[in-house]
Chains A and B, each alone.
Chain A
Amino acid sequence: MAYEKLLLKNVGRDDSHTLDVSLAGGGYQALKKALSGMTPEAVLEEVKASGLRGRGGAGFPTGMKWSFLPKLGDKPRYLCVNADESEPGTFKDRLLIERDPHLVLEGIILSSFAIHCHTAFFYIRGEFQKGARIFEQAIAEAYAKGFLGKNILGSGYDLDVLVYRGAGAYICGEETALLESLEGKRGLPRIKPPFPAIVGLYGCPTIINNVETLANVPFIVERGAGWYNGIGRPKNTGPKLFCISGHVKKPGVYEAPLGIPFKELLNEHAGGMLHPDRPLKAAVPGGSSMKVLPAARCDVLLDFDSLAAAGTMLGSAGGMVMDSSTCMVGALLNLAEFYEHESCGQCTPCREGTGWFTKILHRLEAGHGRKEDPDLLIDVAKRVEGNTICPFGEAIAWPVQSYVAEFKSEFDDHVTKGACPFGGAAKRG
């Protein structure tokens, strides 16, 4: 059965970022439907019923998140769109922002409508200069067409959308650090509770949703939760963008229903392994901050619950594929350096632990490892995990624990041989 592309239905067209192309492809039909005949509560219920789960990493049910908002009061409610896509190996939101901004924008308007929000903030990663420019154009077009601003489509509903460019910190993708950054402060995660739904941006009730999450909303509104439920697997419904990179023939973003087999993504979408003589060694199906799976355990379905059962997470679906030429110590060192660089420095375990990992891994890779180092890595990771203000701690603790545990002999080899068996240290210079 041919799968009907939804999220990526427009991205291949010329000028897909323009309103004209969007409208020609059926854009803003859901908005017209919602504003002409649905209450905000009905939109919220539809999203709840669809089973849509957040595409940013945790897979939390979107409708339930929205329903955590306190009763309407004096304070405004805000929607913050998390377009700070920064996870290594994840590049799906960028495609939507640059190639189908109107789909995202329609999702933002519908979602804002559903939660009684009249000001939405589009927090976009600083490096996405092109995306920010395109999205601002899209917003301008939408204002001109009456999809934004006062009295949208004559419905009496008002909404403004503002683009805010981040300054290039990975941590600002963490929702409370995003709020701090948006408020003009240093992007440090907040202590929770209170959760943003209660005390968020400028102290007001706030919902933070991922770009891809919001891009699902128009389809749910237009075609109904029942139809949406038919895509994917139970409790893991809907279309999903899968990123795949590493040792594959065709790295890229592919759309498929949640729950497709990893091997199907690898072999049918991404064209299989890059070098025929180098078999799959390991994969991180969910993104750099998730646990690694050795090749033997890679026959998994790509959805939230299946990957959790397999001991990892779907995360942001930033799949990374490593072939037999990969040094796992070097791969982990590469990740550890990223996380050391991006740790915000606020809380003790992450600030101190991330640097410690890097230093141990550097020694191992350079052939100066001690036999206790692999166990020390795991032990330190356990002391970081669960003890930090935000999930950044887990984002490095999980890879460290899984790389060392799954490839323990390779780490030991670095110690006993006194060098990287893959020539890694030399390669790294």
Chain B
Amino acid sequence: MPEPTQPPPPAKPGSAPAAAPAIELPAAGPDEVALLVDERPVVVKKGTSVLQAAERLGIAVPHYCYHPGLTVAGNCRMCFVEIEKMPKLQIGCATQAMQGMVVRTANPRVKAARESIMEFLLINHPLDCPICDQAGECRLQQYANAYGRGESRFVEEKIHHDKGVPIGPRVVFDGERCIKCTRCIRFCDEVSKTHELGLFERGGHAIIGTFPGKSLDNDYSGNTVDICPVGALTWKPFRFQARVWFLRNVPSVCTGCARGCNVELAVYDHRIHRITPRRNAAVNDYWMCDLGRQTYEKLYDRPRLERPAVRAAGAAAPAVLPSPEAVDRAAALLRETVTRHGAASVAAIVSARLTLEDLFMARQALRQAGITRVVVPPHESGEDDALLLRRDKTPNARGAELVGFGRPDAAATAKLAGDIAAGHVHGLVVVGEDPVGDGVLKADRLATIEALVVIDAWQTETAKAAHVALPATGPYEADGVVVNFQGHAQRLRRGVPAPALAEPSWRWLRELGRRFGLAGSWTTASAVFDQAAAELKPLASLSWRSLGGDGHRLVSTEAGPVSGAPAGTQALEP
């Protein structure tokens, strides 16, 4: 084999450039370089790759193995560009932009090289697009269409590999579709740092696999599926569920823990079929955990509360009532309880899983009803890890704090449970929590409660025991804002409609509040948020609109002054 060529000797100082570029280069700062890409000048930081410099100009250089969140492998050879004074084509991902470089990304020579790479990648590819889950979002398809030759010159038997391999509990591997870009290997080495994957065998028989005794079973395995540019790695729950071109990807925020990874909800036929990460450098970068990907399942895998249910004293089964009447009944029960036992005998349990709007409206309504004892139960499991996962499994604990309910508090929750068990509590409003199902309260200890009003998305044990149960939207069924553990306020967007008569909790709370004289006619989450922003100091000067797609980092999430107090000083990071 010929030895590789050595670097050329440095150019003699003072030697004249071959030909002055026709286009004048802009001035570059000390840590910048200016170059031309397809005749267009661009200034980038030193160390930027040619591929990234082209992207800065909106010039897409096709690539498979390059991923901005991983180290450069340079193996797919798709991102070839021509650079003046370099005899060979260079890969854009691994070539640093240099001062005065003249780069061409789409001339006939580059196009011919791309066509060659496409041909090589496809000769042993099974071309099973009709039944491949990646079809529609597959780079092989996109680039074959854009850069391929459109016909095959390969008449030989293709190389065969194992298909449908359960490479991990949630990921399935197809060895024949794989193009050996090694993104998945690099992810497990560099991001999850779990090192399950390697490249085995050689040449055309090279194949991705797990090391002996290992399985692709880490908390982040789903990211390998996302970054797989072809259909080699597929997400088990999504396999054969939907053609991706029917999916509508709704930008939203994961509700699985206090991180609040930015996600896309893949919706088809009013149902979420998949959740994938959406890049947010301030929160989750390109990634999300496997648990978060499955947070939509509980919308479908347990009985939903679909209609207001009112249980009359002594009745075996609850009766379904129209919504306004159900709220009337809830208000009446609470009012009677207050009258009988005093406002101090009525408490509320609200959830840090609710949106800021829900929590804000809970504050307004409960205050209006004279209910001052409010607890927020914690939901913790596991530990904070080095990447994304948080021990706190609620998406909006900081939101609860911001509204004035304080952070989730196990002691306060236990104290309330004790008071209920001791018969000191006679009225209870529960929003988005299931203290009975969670074991915080025993159903038989609810005997002394004369008004149990539950707002929830599911037929929980608590809802079953309720005098009035009001159907709420579940995660991803309503718009709202959540504040993650970093104090990053982000907009959760509704991806799917809620079943039957379910409404966002804040609407039930608004209605309940009205029964106690709450003024205000908010009809949208954005109106509620803007009201909250006007009243809560950490949100001062924020608006629903200003949160945009990437959210906003708050300086503090400590509870603001009560309504009427001055909004205070600017509390936002630029």
Contacts and interface: CB of A to CB of B under 8 A. Distances in A.
A340 to B, nearest CB: 6
* Max chain B Cβ within 10 angstroms of own Cβ: one of A346, A359, A388: A346
A348 B7 CA distance: 24
Interface in A283-327: 289-290, 313, 315
Nearest to B206: A345
A347 B77 contact: yes
Interface of B: 1-7, 9, 72, 74-78, 80, 88-89, 91, 94, 113, 116-117, 119-121, 123-124, 153-157, 159, 179-180, 198-199, 201-206
Contacts of B153: 376
A387 B204 contact: no
A352 B204 CA distance: 6
A394 interface: yes
Contacts of A170: 1
A360 interface: yes
* Max chain A Cβ within 10 angstroms of own Cβ: one of B2, B154, B157: B2
A360 B156 contact: yes
A80 B390 CA distance: 47
A352 B203 CA distance: 7
B179 A348 contact: yes
Nearest to A340: B203
A330 interface: no
* Max chain B Cβ within 10 angstroms of own Cβ: one of A64, A87, A191: A191
Given A60-B6, A383-B119, 17 more contacts: A57-B1, A58-B4, A60-B5, A175-B3, A176-B4, A290-B2, A315-B2, A342-B202, A342-B203, A346-B180, A346-B199, A351-B120, A352-B124, A355-B159, A370-B155, A386-B89, A387-B113
Contacts of B76: 347-348
A356 interface: yes
A289 B1 contact: yes
A364 to B, nearest CB: 12
Contacts, number: 138
B77 to A, nearest CB: 5
Contacts of A65: 6
B202 A169 contact: yes
Contacts of A289: 1-2
30 contacts: A57-B3, A58-B2, A58-B4, A58-B5, A58-B6, A64-B9, A68-B6, A169-B202, A191-B72, A341-B203, A344-B202, A345-B202, A345-B203, A345-B205, A346-B199, A346-B206, A347-B77, A348-B117, A350-B203, A351-B120, A351-B204, A354-B204, A355-B159, A355-B203, A356-B120, A383-B120, A387-B80, A388-B77, A391-B1, A391-B2
6 closest A-B pairs by beta carbon, nearest first, are A345-B206, A58-B3, A343-B203, A383-B116, A352-B120, A359-B156
Nearest to A388: B77
B202 A343 contact: yes
B124 to A, nearest CB: 6
A87 B80 contact: no
Contacts of A374: none
A363 interface: yes
B1 A349 contact: no
Contact of B7 (A176, A193, A340): A193
B406 to A, nearest CB: 51
Interface string A122-146: 0000000000000000000000000
A54 interface: yes
A370 B2 CA distance: 31
Nearest to B7: A195
Contacts of B4: 58, 174-176, 192, 390-391
